[in-house]
Every structure is written in C-alpha cells, then in structure tokens.
Structure 1
Amino acid sequence: MSMARCCFTRWTPQNSILFVCDMQEKFRPNIHAFAEITQVSKRLIEAAKILGMRTVVTEQYPKGLGNTVPELKEVLTPDTPIYDKTKFSMCAPLQPKDLEGIKNVLLVGIEAHVCVLQTTHDLLDKGVDVHVIVDGVSSRSRTDRKYAFKQMERAGANLTTSECVILGLLGGSDHPKFREVQKLIIQSAPDTGLVHKL
C-alpha cells in the first residue's frame, strides 16, 4: 500500500506525461459531464503537444466499447501510443520506455472509481507522483466519483485542475510558448458541475 507523501515534484514538460484513460465512444451517453471532460482532455492534449510533453492513451476493450472519441483522436500526435487493455489499470499495457525519466503523471479520463483509481494506485506503487485532474475525470455515478477522489487523495495522489496544470507546466509568462498555450485557456475550462460535489 502506498504511503501518502507530503510533497510533489514540480511539473515540467520533461518530467511529466499526460495519461488519457478510456475516453471512448460507448461511454459517451452514460458518463456525467462527458462533453465537458472531453473538452478539458482536449485542452490538455493540445497543451502537451505545444510544450513537447508526451501523452499516452488507453482504450478499455475497444472491440466492444469503441475507440477514443474523435474530438480527442484528431488532436493527438501521430506517434501517441494508444494501448488496448482489458485490465482496469492503464499501467498494464505500458512499455518500459513510457515512464522513462517521468516523475509526474497528469491523469484524466474515466471512470474515476475504476480505471483512474487503479491506475493511480499502480503509479504510486511505482514511486511516480500522480496528479488527478478533477475537471477531467468522471464516472457514471457522482457517488462513485466523489469517493474515488477521497481514496486517491488518501493514497497520496494530488487533486488538481486543468488550468492549474497547464499554467504550472509553463512556469511563467516568460515561457517561449506562453502565448500559444494562453489561447487554450483564454476561456475558462467548462464547468462540469461536478467539482463542488466532491
């Protein structure tokens, strides 16, 4: 079992990776605020691309549940790994190179109480700091979502927001890519209506 840690490594595009968990077509009708978390995930993928940060995507049993939604697929770089999985944790299909040099995983997707939670536990067990982006994570049930966040935080994950992560990766307005990234966040992230229900 992971021990909760009191401090985290500062995010940089070099020491961080974005994990996008199971944002698939078949889940669209059943997940609370699916459109909003898709939009948040898209902003993060675009920010990662601008900053040269890696992204990993998983699909849970795509033969039955469909592929990653087109809104996200269209903004992924051609070399982004998209792994099929049947285990709940995103760590199951990872290749050793995926976490090379990585201290921080920025995590979005579904469902909070299953795949996101089990991925968080596995990453913490590997000694990687996990930052769960609460405006980019949901479940079918608000109750499951609420208690998943409590479990993840108790295990040692950091709960944060998409805008906090994007600006944290930049570090300041003097970053050479600041203006490019700023265009992504000039409008506030969509309100999922879920965060205040934590």
Structure 2
Amino acid sequence: MAQRRIANPALFVCDLQDKFRPAIHEFEKVVSTAQKLLKASQILAIPVFATTQNRARLGETCLELGLDAPGGVQTLVHADKTLFSMLTPEVRKGIASLQSPLSAVIVGIESHICVTQTALDLLQDGHKVYVIADGVSSVNKEEVPIALARLRHEGAIVTTSESWLYECVGDAGIKEFKQIIGVVKETHDSTRDVLQTLCKI
C-alpha cells in the first residue's frame, strides 16, 4: 500500500501581512510559494499554523492567501504575536493537539528573525524542520543566505517547495498524487520565476 514519506507534516506561515509588502525583498514571490503550499495542504489534509506580528499596527494576513476565509484554507491556529517566534502559547497548544514529533515546514518572513526563531524553537522541542528557500525573505536580501546557512547548521533542512511536496507525497501511488501534480503543473511558471529570483546560486 502506497504511503507518504513525511510523517506528521504541518505548515507554518509566518507573518505574511500586507504592511510588509513594500518593505520585504520580493514579497510577492514569497506569497506565491505560500499559496502553492496552502493548496497542497488542502489536498493532503496538512494542518496550518499562521501568525501575524503585532496585527494592530502591521495589519492582517494577506487576503490572497485566503486564510480562514469562506472557501479558503482553515488554519488550526491563526495567532497574533509580539514574540518573534511563532511558538506562542496558542500555537504550542495547537501543536500539542497533533501527533508528535511534527515535520514542520516554514514559509514567511523575515528569514533571519521570525523564521529563524520559529525554526530554532521547533528544533529545540524535538520536531523536524524544513525551511523553504523559495518561500522566505527579508527586508535586506543579504540576510537570507546567512540565515539559511545558520539554520542548516542548527539542524533544519533547507529545501524548495517542489522538492518538499514530492518528498511529502513520497509515492506516485498515493491517491492524492494526481492532485499534487496538478498543483505542480499549475504553478510551473511561477515556481521557475521564484527560484530564479530568490534562490540564485
């Protein structure tokens, strides 16, 4: 019987808020990757955690992500925070409701602050952590490779959205594979564009 390769996946969407749009390097590309993984999360029934940083001052999560909207992706937790890490008490309670350890996949901003501190907290708690290189950014683009190098050193797996999707599925025989292929084909051009922009060698 076909089985998925990654156990207990959970998607963490960090602080993708409208007010950050003009400041973050290639913000739209990060949103595009988050949209792709959110589509996959619906197909694969992957729980989603999302946060905003100081919502009263910095605004709501970007509307195009459709989080908790009618017909959109329903999050397990959608929390506001002043912490830089996403692991607020509310998020930790949500994590505790799931089978552990998680295979946590992170997209969002900023790579060297909130993404890094979220990844470090998840690693400290014994979870496996994937940071999506085509799904994170910062105000200053130079921060990103330094943050990713640090996170690799700390034990996180830095990979791409498409690589993670195929690893998560693990077997073309699983019933959701055709739908995942549909997402991959639908986002082919945008994926290439994002990789060429955010993941330059």
TM-score range, shorter chain: 0.7 to 0.9
Name which of structure 1's ranges 180-189 and 145-154 shifts more when overlaid on structure 2. Answer: 180-189
1:6 corresponding residue in structure 2? none
Q: Which amino acid aligns with 1:98?
A: I
Q: Is 1:22 matched with 2:7?
A: no
2:193 corresponding residue in structure 1? 191
Kindly state the Cα deviation for residue 167 of structure 1 after the two structures are TM-superposed: 1.2
CA distance in structure 2 between the partners assigned to 1:174 and 1:24 by the alignment = 37
CA distance in structure 2 between the partners assigned to 1:44 and 1:129 by the alignment = 17
Which segments of 5 or more consecutive residues in structure 1 lack a partner in the other structure? 1-9
Higher percent of residues as helix: 2
2:154 corresponding residue in structure 1? 155
Name which of structure 1's ranges 96-105 and 143-152 shifts more when overlaid on structure 2. Answer: 96-105
CA displacement, residues 41-74 of structure 1 (integer Å, 9 cap, x when unaligned)? 0110110111111010000001111111011125
Q: Which amino acid aligns with 1:37?
A: V
Q: Measured at CA, do residues 146 and 72 of structure 1 come closer, stay the same or move farther in structure 2, by a change above 3 Å?
A: same
CA distance in structure 2 between the partners assigned to 1:157 and 1:37 by the alignment = 19
Which of residues 53, 67, 71 is equivalent to 2:60? 67
Q: Which amino acid aligns with 1:43?
A: K
| RMSD after superposition | 1.6
Q: Which amino acid aligns with 1:124?
A: L
1:35 corresponding residue in structure 2? 28
CA distance in structure 1 between the partners assigned to 2:93 and 2:139 by the alignment = 32
Which of residues 91, 96, 107 is equivalent to 2:93? 96
Q: Is 1:11 matched with 2:6?
A: yes
Say if 2:48 and 2:75, in contact at 8 Å, map to a contact too: no
Which segments of 5 or more consecutive residues in structure 2 lack a partner in the other structure? none
Say if 1:57 and 1:83, in contact at 8 Å, map to a contact too: yes
SS at match of 1:191: helix
Name which of structure 1's ranges 39-48 and 174-183 shifts more when overlaid on structure 2. Answer: 174-183
TM-score by length of 2: 0.87
Size of the aligned set, in residue pairs, is: 186
Q: Is 1:87 matched with 2:89?
A: no
1:128 corresponding residue in structure 2? 127
Structure 1 ranges of 4+ moved more than 3 A: none
2:106 corresponding residue in structure 1? 107
Q: Which amino acid aligns with 2:193?
A: D
CA distance in structure 2 between the partners assigned to 1:29 and 1:132 by the alignment = 23
